[in-house]
Amino acid sequence: MFGMRGAAVALGSLALVVSSLVWAPDSQAWPGGGQGAVTCTGNSEGRYAPPLVLLPQPTRIHADVRYLCTVRTGHTVPATSSFDSSLTMASCASDSDALGVEKVRYDGGGRSVIVIDSATTARVAGVLFVLQSGRVTEGRGAGHQVRRTVAAPPRQLITDCLTSGLRGSSSGVQLEILP
């Protein structure tokens, strides 16, 4: 019903709206020494260990993310990141928390280490939406607040919860480092 394309369109639309709200003058944006707003939009491939099943269980997630970051008006920088989370209890029906650490590496140099310390999770029409917040603890944007939005359509059939479990997800991700 919603599908991967619908999730991508929704996340892209969200990125456009948010980027227009968090725009920073060139003198305040990266690169060039400033600490203005940065909006990164991309895709992630996540893996659950152990796979998610019907009953909640301690679970870890690792995701590799490819971003395109708008660091000032008209200037984008590719970036990659890894996100790691040790979920306390998770199942096919819900992730109890999606707290963790994301390490972003910007092409051309620089990095940001981000601690996600708050999350809200909802599943709508089979799509998992996670709204996260936290702060940059090291590197570019250190001390700045962060918003992270994840939209993950199911990659496996929900019936996999009854057998092998859900092993991972492909997601659209938007990361905002606020001014």
Domain boundaries, the chain: 3-177
Secondary structure (DSSP) of the chain: --HHHHHHHHHHHHHHHHHHHS---GGGSTTTT----EEEEEEEEEEEEEEE-SS-EEEEEEEEEEEEEEEETTEEEEEEEEEEEEEEEE-SS-BS---EEEEEEETTS-EEEEEEEEEEEEEETTEEEEEEEEEEEEETTTT-EEEEEEEE--SS-GGGGGTT-EEEEEEEEEEEE--
- Please give the model's pTM, rounded to 2 decimal places: 0.76
At 158 the pLDDT is: 65
Q: What is the pLDDT of residue 95?
A: 63
pLDDT band with cut points at 50, 70 and 90 for residue 79 = very high
Q: How confident is the model at residue 98 (pLDDT cuts 50, 70, 90)?
A: confident
Instruction: Give the mean model confidence (pLDDT) for residues 126-151.
Output: 92
Confidence of residue 31 (pLDDT cuts 50, 70, 90): very low
